[in-house]
Structure 1
Amino acid sequence: MRVAKRPIHAAVTWVKRQPSKVKAFLSVVAGIAALVFLRFIVYDHDNLFVAAEAVHAVGISVLIYKLTKERTCAGLSLKSQDLTALFLAARLYCSFVMEYDIHTILDTATLATTFWVIYMIRFKLRTSYMVDKDNFAVYYVVRYLIYIMEVVPCALLALVIHPSTSHNIFNRICWAFCVYLEAVSVLPQLRLMQNAKIVEPFTAHYVFALGIARFLSCAHWVLQVLDTRGRLLTALGYGLWPSMVLLAEIVQTFILADFCYYYVKSLIGGQLVLRLPSGVV
């Protein structure tokens, strides 16, 4: 086992010593290599989106275990959970009125468990909630449910850039809103972990699952565009909307990429607790 770890440890050490530009280049190369790998081993690339939602569900399951067995919500951002519930509710509405399929069922289950996590943090385990660390720069009205810094810009962007399909205008704006909000919903969680410096295992597993889910979702869109030779973009509508969908997926992936790097590095080093350096968020 030790012999097997030496090449990996040497590679990690080498990457760690490289300047930021080289690390960024290596990350892009690794991402492209992963896309090529997925393109050849996954026959139906639509399954990647289902896989992304399934991985998200696994992450939620980790939270359920943490909250029920350890009876603590330390390290979890209530703001991120609220934003997650908001974009899931919007996406679920769009799914019901525009395209009812397997994603509707998966989103329903994820939204229900997210509400349960919010309930546990807000009421049952509120004494362990790190409210002083959950200080991402957002303002709130209507009892903390509408986050001005994130929700309003997403709503305004949705009003300007949304699908140009034949659906009702409100439904199209709602669809765009949930896409934009999902892209930034994890930021409060990352900021809380940055403030805490030390991330306990179950929280780290949950955020890593979100990172994998976001990459699979991004891979789904990129590979679908390649498979259809760009026809998927016109199927989504015209103007800036198709590009914004891809951009939102890429933004989500890169937001979590840095954390996933330190997570994998921590696992390789045999550390149970993840320590984040400054500047990750």
Structure 2
Amino acid sequence: MNIFRLAGDMTHLFSVLVLLLKIHTIKSCAGISLKTQELYAVVFATRYLDIFSDFISLYNTIMKLIFLGSSFSIVWYMRHHKIVRRSYNKDQDTFRHFFLVLPCFLLALLIHEKFTFKEVMWTFSVFLEAVAILPQLVLLQRTRNIDNLTGQYVFLLGAYRGLYILNWIYRYFTERHFVHWIPWISGIVQTLLYADFFYYYLDSWKSNKRLQLPA
């Protein structure tokens, strides 16, 4: 494992910890899109179908369990915890996220490396992860004023994907025959979706102002 992969994994893990901190400590999910969290739960559930059948390493298994458990617990808290769900911006979180699922699944049926159940589901999870952030970005655009923890959560998610691109570049030049077009293209698309948010996040950080997106 290279430094970019490790940094990407840790950044992804920190993003989850920031969100869990907000939900468990502040008892608030204001500014967080339940639609995006549900999509991430689907992403991890379909990506880690091999968790009990193909052992890669203890690190790999632990990370899979963390992301599976945290994604479903976040969805549960936002849907069922009495205090947390009161802060949910339901009227503004109206992106029809299920319309993202079918196109990603059909694309996975058409474009994949091997036509097996696990491979198609893995490819589907890669395509879906690329667009899963859209409901969250739309919600932030509507609420405009973004608290620090929500801003940090979204920034860390974007940074994780950016670090993974550096990981792929490193592996391309250091490993023979390392070519994986499906995650590469999906990862680039996903990172580009964050571009506007990154600009305003870094601008607010430099000027020490509250993060605010334009209408």
Structure 1 length-normalised TM: 0.71
Show structure 1 runs of 4+ deviating over 4 A: none
Q: Deviation digits for residues 181-210 of structure 1, max 9, x if unmatched? A: 111111111110011111111100100110
Q: Deviation digits for residues 77-133 of structure 1, max 9, x if unmatched? A: 001001111111111114544553323321211221122211111111211110111
CA distance in 1, matches of 2:183, 2:50: 15
Q: Give the aligned CA root-mean-square deviation in angstroms.
A: 1.7
Give the residue type in structure 1 aligned to 2:25.
K
Aligned equivalent of 1:121:
78
Aligned equivalent of 2:113:
163
Aligned equivalent of 2:162:
215
Q: Deviation digits for residues 27-70 of structure 1, max 9, x if unmatched? A: xxxxxxxxxxxxxxxxx53x422321221111111112111222
- Which secondary structure state, in structure 2, belongs to the residue aligned with residue 93 of structure 1? coil
Corresponding position: 1:175 with 2:122: yes
CA distance in 2, matches of 1:249, 1:94: 22
Aligned equivalent of 1:3:
none
Aligned equivalent of 1:13:
none
Aligned equivalent of 1:105:
62
Aligned equivalent of 1:254:
192
Aligned equivalent of 1:277:
214
CA spacing shift, 1:58–1:191, aligned 2, 3 Å: same
Query: CA contact under 8 A between 1:50 and 1:103: conserved in structure 2?
Result: no
Give the residue type in structure 2 aligned to 1:253.
T
Alignment identity in percent?
35
Corresponding position: 1:133 with 2:107: no
- Which secondary structure state, in structure 2, belongs to the residue aligned with residue 232 of structure 1? coil
Query: CA contact under 8 A between 1:222 and 1:246: conserved in structure 2?
Result: no
CA distance in 1, matches of 2:6, 2:190: 17
Structure 2 residue runs of 5 or longer lacking an equivalent are: none
Give the residue type in structure 1 aligned to 2:16.
I
Corresponding position: 1:232 with 2:178: yes
Corresponding position: 1:205 with 2:152: yes
Query: CA contact under 8 A between 2:123 and 2:182: conserved in structure 1?
Result: no
Query: CA contact under 8 A between 1:163 and 1:172: conserved in structure 2?
Result: yes
Query: CA contact under 8 A between 1:94 and 1:174: conserved in structure 2?
Result: no
Q: Compute the displacement of 1:223 (Å).
A: 2.1
Give the residue type in structure 1 aligned to 2:116.
I
Aligned runs of 1:141-152 on 2, under 5 Å? 147=98, 149-152=99-102
Aligned equivalent of 2:183:
245
CA distance in 1, matches of 2:169, 2:108: 22
Query: CA contact under 8 A between 2:112 and 2:119: conserved in structure 1?
Result: yes
The size of the alignment, in residue pairs, is: 212
Greater C-alpha radius of gyration: 1
Structure 1 residue runs of 5 or longer lacking an equivalent are: 1-43, 139-146, 234-241
Give the residue type in structure 1 aligned to 2:214.
P
Aligned equivalent of 1:9:
none
Greater relative CO, 1 or 2 (CA 8 Å, sep 6+): 2
Moved more, 48-57 or 90-99: 90-99
Structure 2 length-normalised TM: 0.91
